[in-house]
Amino acid sequence: MGNHFTLLHKDLNSKARLGRLTTAHGVVETPCFMPVGTQGAVKAVLPRDLHELGCQILLGNTYHLYLRPGHELIRKLGGLHRFMNWPGPILTDSGGYQVFSLGTMRKITEDGARFQSHIDGGAHLLTPEKAVEIQEALGSDIAMVLDECIPHDASRSYVRESTERTIRWAARCLNARNRPEQLMFGIVQGGMFEDLRRWCVDELSALDFEGFAVGGLGVGEGEEKLNSVGAFTAQLLPEHKPRYLMGVGRPQDIIHAARAGFDMFDCVIPTRNGRNGTLFTWQGKLSIKRAEFAGDPRPLDATCGCYSCKNFSRAYLRHLFMAGEILSAQLNSLHNLYFYHRLMDKCREAIRDGRPELWAELVKFADAS
């Protein structure tokens, strides 16, 4: 399908890489962070504001958009880009993780995932072919294969069986694709077992994917396993294709994963934490609901250039949160996303300019978080 990823530079002090990913709706400089727009919207944040804070690419979700408003409706209205008025690249998750999270409301078979809608209880079957059909209707720039997200404490026999099925599903997704301009990423599973991770990478690398994701991490296995299994798997992946660590998004996790060689990240943490009053700063996390900020005239972070920090005090942000104002979610989420994008800027700068002292600052920040 052509080479869509250019490896621009390797860091001399780590496994980090600087890259450029070309999609049908624009170029993405990596390492990058993708805000999560599960239902065609990043919660409480306007597309205009996302663009202004430097967002390059968004994530949408097959499962949610399939159930509501429906992929055929979105297709008729011109695709997801037009529907949500986002001109830049979009990656869509296949829905595998959402189906996994349904617990007893789903059943995995060779055909696919049978599940009950969390909206109305209706029965559905999400097959690899259906996942591709939905994502092609949405018109995303990057489609993910359907996989099973394996619980971190699953037995080796279950992990082996599930990973085998995920590999077969990946091949079925490739066979089902009809839009060559839509890139497709395979997803590496294998649980906490390094040999199964290696085997899965070997099998998927033989298939014609434009990139690879690592799934099944950040699901309760703990920070040590997350870092060790992630770093191990990253170095097995093809060097000339993008590497995406799915759903892992604490700042410290992103820093360590970028240094391990991952290129793409997504997570709901910045927006979810913002709505809950937890804000990220270079001095650490801050809970704006605390009483000590009730009369604090200072900006949230004097070093931050976001709209919230340039225009409002901690006292005002606390007032909005305590009053339950919608503006609280907007300003807090905007700040957190701005912070995350500056974090990625610093990672790219450290790689591009060969600055070990900047990496040292980032690692120190990560270790203190």
Tokens of 104: 């007893």
Q: Which of 49, 253, 266, 301 is catalytic?
A: 266
Distance between first and last Cα of the chain: 41
Angle of CA points 351, 91, 19, to nearest 5°: 20
Contact status, residue 162 vs residue 186, Cβ threshold 8 Å: no
Asked about 208 being catalytic, the answer comes back as no
Q: Where are the alpha helices (DSSP H) in 114-217?
A: 128-138, 156-176, 194-205
Half-sphere exposure of 313 (CA within 13 A, CB side): 10
Q: Which of 93, 141, 253, 263 is catalytic?
A: 93
DSSP secondary structure string for all residues of 282-322? TTEEEETTSGGGTT--S-S-TT--SHHHHH--HHHHHHHHH
Tokens of 351: 């790689």
3-state secondary structure of 175: helix
Asked about 93 being catalytic, the answer comes back as yes
Active site residues: 93, 266
